[in-house]
Each structure stands twice: as C-alpha cells, then as structure tokens.
Chain A
Amino acid sequence: MTDKILEVKDLVVQYVTDDGCVEAVNDLSFSIGKKKTLGLVGETGAGKTTTALSILNLIPSPPGEIKSGSIMLDGSDVLTMDQEELQKMRGNDVAMIFQDPMTALNPVMTIGEQIAESIELHEKISKKESMERAKEMLKLVGIAESRAYDYPHQFSGGMRQRVVIAIALACNPKLLLADEPTTALDVTIQAQVLELIKKLITERDMSMLLITHDLGVVAEVCDDVAVMYAGRIVEIGTAAEIFNETAHPYTEGLFNSLPNLKQRGEKLVPITGMMPDPMDLPEGCSFAPRCPYATEACKKANPGLRHLGGSHYVACQAYERENFKLGGEQ
C-alpha cells in the first residue's frame, strides 16, 4: 500500500462532557492517495475538524478521546506514536491550515520570524539561513520579501492566510490539512487563495485533505470527495462520481439547496429539519428523520458503505431496494 499517503480506518472519536457523550466521529474510514486531494464535505457539527485534528493526534483531551481505529500516515500509525515522534510528524509530514488567519498568527512576532521559527523547529539550520528560507516562502505565496519584517496586524485577511500557507508549507510536508482555508475570506480573495493552494500542491507533489462546506470549492480543487453527516461518511468517491452520479439523499439535498445552480424564480429545495443533536443521535441511519426516501428499515439499522462501482461508495439502505434511484422513486 505505498500509493496511499494517509489511511484512516474505523476511527471513533468521542467527547465526554458533563452532559453526556458526543460521538463526534464514528467508524470513519477513508484514504488519500499520493498527490491527490480529498475534499471532506459536511455541515457544522459533522465531525470534519475532529477528523483533521485526529490525524495530527491533537484531539483536546479531556474531553476528547480517540476510542479506536488506526490512522496510517505514510506507513506508520499516528495513534501509537510517542510525543517526540508526533512532534516530528507535525509540520514535517503533515501541516495544517486553519480557518481563521487572524488567530493562527502570533501578533507579537514578525511574519518572517514566524515562518523561520517553524523551519528551525524541524531542520537544523542557522537563524540567518532560516530567515532566507522564510523570505523565499513569502515570495512563493505572492508576498514581497521586504514584508518579512512586518507584523500580522499590518496584513489584510487574504495576506494573512497566505502567510499561514507559507508557514504550513515551509517544511515541505507530504500532507496538507486545510480546514476551511477560504471561508473567512471575500470571494475574490478566496479565488486567489484557492488558485495559490492548487498551484503549490501540484508543484510540490503534495497531498491534501480539504475540509469545507462549500461544494463549489470542492469542485474547483478536489480529486476525491467524502461527504460526512453526523460523524459518519455517507458517500465517498471521485469528484465526478459524487457530482454527476450523486447517490446519497443527503448529498442530493446539499446540491438542491445551492442557490447558484438554480435559475431565478426556481424554488430551492432545502433539506427539511436540522442536524441531529450529536449527543442524542437517532437510532439507525442518522439522516433518516430528514430523508425523503427513508423507510421503517432505515430507522432500525445503521447502513454500512455499499459499493456502487468504481471507487464510489454510499451508506444508504434504500439501495437494498431494486431499481432505487434518487429523485426517481418517491
């Protein structure tokens, strides 16, 4: 299995609080091929960020706990690493870009120092050399070298996100985890940053896990897509499979909710109801209460992933029925 950079198997993550136990991630399995980008799509509370933090073994504990499963990063299991190995892995092999570029940077250090610091942590080079490298990184993300001595507050939101990207890429990680990297940015800036990320990961032969709620961003950037709902993957496949042969009712609902695919005057078809309380998930399929195709059977057992052909899998019991097709049978 050398063509996979990341393989997550049967991952279960729980948060135990005073009020009860939240199953944030449940039986999650997916993999990312080398030089591939996987889009992890889902709404608030679907468990996307928890998944990313698990890969870095950074789940805040307490209250979080990785109950079971394995996360193989380029052949070694992240969950059995000791502190030293973890520290080496973070930054060197895997780097993360967070959603909010305002809080991800230290306000009292110049951005050059911050990039240099992350290089020094992982490579034995002198201060001067690392600063040179930092300036190169800045140039790479489209910021003038001379600005290396400026502080974060002197940059705009888009520029800060570029700096965050520069820090993440400084040590040439094999895998980049991008958690909603463009959500906090304006559309024109989002387009710039997406182009930049796309360009850099192809140039550097990197793989990426892109977490987002925006199907448009997924279509722009990702090779493969996994759709998450209430802690589980409900549909996974190549981007073309997910977009053009949508199989899960939830994925279909997401597409139907998008105003930009509609003509004026056409009615949006929202998914009824709301995300279930993660502390109190319905029995059986979590999506059943909101699903237009759900039957009694759906409320009893949780569906496993079913192979649809190619690399396309869906977790939906409706496919037990003969000739079931989304939109066709109601």
Chain B
Amino acid sequence: MGKILLEVDNLTKFFNTPSGQLHAVDGVSFQIEEGKTLGIVGESGCGKSTTGRSILKLIEPTGGKIIFDGKDITNYSRRQMRPLRTEMQMIFQDPFSSLDPRQSVMQLISEPIIEHKLLSGKAEIEKRTLELMETVGLAKRLMNSYPHELDGGRRQRIGVARALAVNPKLIVCDEPVSALDVSIQAQILNLLEDLQKDLGLTYIFITHDLSVVKYFSDDIAVMYMGQMVEKAPSDEIFANPTHPYTKALLSAIPIPTIGKEKPVRQLIRGEITSPVNLPDECRFFGRCDVCDEAICKKCNPTLVEISPKHFVACNKIAMKE
C-alpha cells in the first residue's frame, strides 16, 4: 500500500439558508493513496463539488478533519494555506468562466509561477510557460492569444497547464470535461491520464458521468444528498453495484449500442430534494424500491464493509450481513 496523501474524516459543511440548515456535505470520509485517483460521482446538489472545494479550503468546512500529507489543514487560515497551494490544485468545470478574459495564454499560465515566486527572471518564466504549453499540447504560437479566441478544449488545456505550473501533488478535477464535446473530452481525459503517469499525480475526479470515472478512477465513491452511499474499487463497483442508488445511476446511462443485449433499465422515481432540515431517515428513502419502512424511515444508515474495500450505506444490506 502506498503512502496516504489525503485523508478526509467525517467532513461536514452546512449552509444556513432561510428555510433551514442545508446539509451540503454530511459526514464524508475517505483516503487517497499517492498516485491514485478517487472518483466522486453524484448528481447535481449531492455535495460533490462542495467536498472538493472544502478539501482545497475554498470553503470553510463546518466540521471534520482534512489531513493532507500528514498535516491537519482543517483550521488553516488563508495565509497558512498559501504555501500549500503549490501542492494542491484544482481544474475547474467551465473553461469559459474559469479563465480571466483579459489575460493572454502566457499571462494565465505564468500567473501561478509568478505568484508563488517559483522562478525569477523573465526568460526563466517564459521558458517554463512554453514547456507547460507543450506538456498540455498547446501550440507555441498561441501564447499571445486570449481565451475568447480559443475553443473549449484548448481553454481546458490552459486550465490544466495552470494547475500543473506549481508542480502539485494533488489535483481536484471538478467536472473537467462535462462542458466539452465528446471528441474533445477524450483528448482531455487522455491528457490527464498521461500526466498522471508521467508526473505521479493524485487526482480527485468529481463528475456526474459514471462512464468517465469508470475509465479513469481507481476507487469510486457515490454521493447522494451530502452523504457517501457506496465506495469501492472501480472494477468492484461496476461489477457488483450494491446500493439501490448506485444501481439506478448505472442503469440510467444510455448505452450507445444497437442490437446488442442491454441490461433492463431500472428507472427510479422522483428527484433529489434539497437536504434541508433532514429527519433521521435514509435519504434515499422516498425514491427507493427495496426499502423497508420500519427500518429505513427510522435510521440513517452508515457505511458498512460488505466485502474487502467495498462499503455500502444501506439498512437492508447491513441487516443481511
């Protein structure tokens, strides 16, 4: 087993809203080994982005612990976080709004280098910037271009180059390909994979698209309404999905084949409600087909290990065990 790079323990983030306390993230725990990828999957509003941003301390967590590289950074101030920013970076979802439209490609990519004083001297910085552009597959002649002149794929490459500029250990990728066309998606996914191999990066890959994480992740965590409902190695979760929500999520993906045998679709009823003022019941209760009112309405299940490294939070399954 490799070294644990990041450990998140019982992370919570509550927001106060006019209608009550919103449990955006509610008791999420996981660990990531160096050089591995954890995929966090869920639908909009499940708290996956909030989790990612809390780890980077862009959002102050309400409770829990974040231990990065042996340091407990939960209560670090912004000033204390500053040096750590070179070790953990983020790739944003929207390549159109995550780049300052008034900066050229050169300025965008060199900004992290200059801000963290990683290099000094104009020539040095320029050399490193061009190196980064080559790494992410951006032609040199684009260095004076502006984001609005480039397509989504190239902009996302700028985002990747910016994240790489500080030689980070951990990159949180927040839906890095969901705004891109399929053919471009594949380019960026391949790029991220190559970079992981070459630079030994650790990824947290946040996405709503199970097919993307399947391709990419070592471990997968499925989130629903702020909680983790299932967590397992990637192959295991696809071969043996256990939580009813994971099953529904998997079968909801339309499969692009015709004439070949397809699993029967299991549609789930209803939609995610917002996690405000939650009673102590299973959060999937209203949409679940296998639930047992006597138990599921009374108790919010916790993760139980059903086979090595495979955790599920479901009352029914916990009872069987």
Contacts and interface: CB of A to CB of B under 8 A. Distances in A.
B215 interface: yes
Contacts of B209: 187
Indicate the member of A43, A187, A191, A243 with the most B CB atoms within 10 Å: A187
B153 A274 contact: yes
B181 A43 contact: yes
B78 interface: no
A217 B235 CA distance: 25
B249 A254 contact: no
B186 interface: yes
A216 B214 contact: no
Given A188-B268, A219-B255, A244-B258, A268 B248 contact: no
A218 B256 contact: yes
Contacts of A272: 187
Given A186-B44, A186-B208, A259-B211, A192 B267 contact: yes
Contact of B186 (A191, A216, A270, A275): A270
Given A158-B271, A274-B153, A259 B212 contact: yes
A187 B186 contact: no
Nearest to A262: B215
Which bucket holds chain A's interface residue count? 35 or more
Interface string A43-77: 11000000000000000000000000000000000
Contacts of A194: 254
Main secondary structure of the interface of B (DSSP, over half): helix
A256 B209 CA distance: 17
B31 interface: no
A156 B253 contact: no
Nearest to A190: B252
B234 interface: yes
A189 B268 CA distance: 8
Given A186-B208, A264-B235, A268-B186, A156 B271 contact: yes
A270 B254 contact: no
Given A158-B271, A219-B256, A219-B257, A253 B183 contact: yes
A283 interface: no
A243 B257 contact: yes
Given A188-B268, A259-B214, A274-B184, A239 B258 contact: yes
A217 B186 CA distance: 18
A235 B268 CA distance: 35
A214 B272 CA distance: 23
Interface string B140-156: 00000000000111100
B189 interface: yes
Interface string B236-255: 00000000000011011111
Contacts of A270: 183-187, 190
B43 interface: yes
Main secondary structure of the interface of A (DSSP, over half): helix
A219 B252 contact: no
Contacts of A109: none
Contacts of A43: 181-184
A210 to B, nearest CB: 12
A279 interface: no
Given A187-B208, A243-B258, A257 B182 contact: yes
Interface in A264-282: 264, 267-272, 274-275
B151 A274 contact: yes
B309 interface: no
A255 B186 contact: no
Interface in B184-228: 184-187, 189-190, 208-212, 214-216
Given A216-B254, A219-B258, A271 B183 contact: yes
B17 to A, nearest CB: 15
Contacts of B189: 259, 268
Interface in A141-192: 156-159, 186-192
Nearest to B213: A259
A301 interface: no
Given A195-B267, A264-B215, 10 more contacts: A188-B252, A188-B268, A215-B182, A240-B258, A254-B182, A254-B183, A259-B186, A259-B216, A260-B210, A260-B214
27 contacts: A44-B181, A157-B44, A187-B210, A187-B249, A187-B253, A188-B267, A191-B254, A192-B267, A195-B265, A195-B267, A214-B256, A215-B256, A216-B253, A216-B254, A239-B258, A244-B258, A244-B259, A258-B182, A259-B185, A259-B186, A259-B211, A259-B214, A259-B215, A264-B214, A264-B235, A275-B151, A275-B181
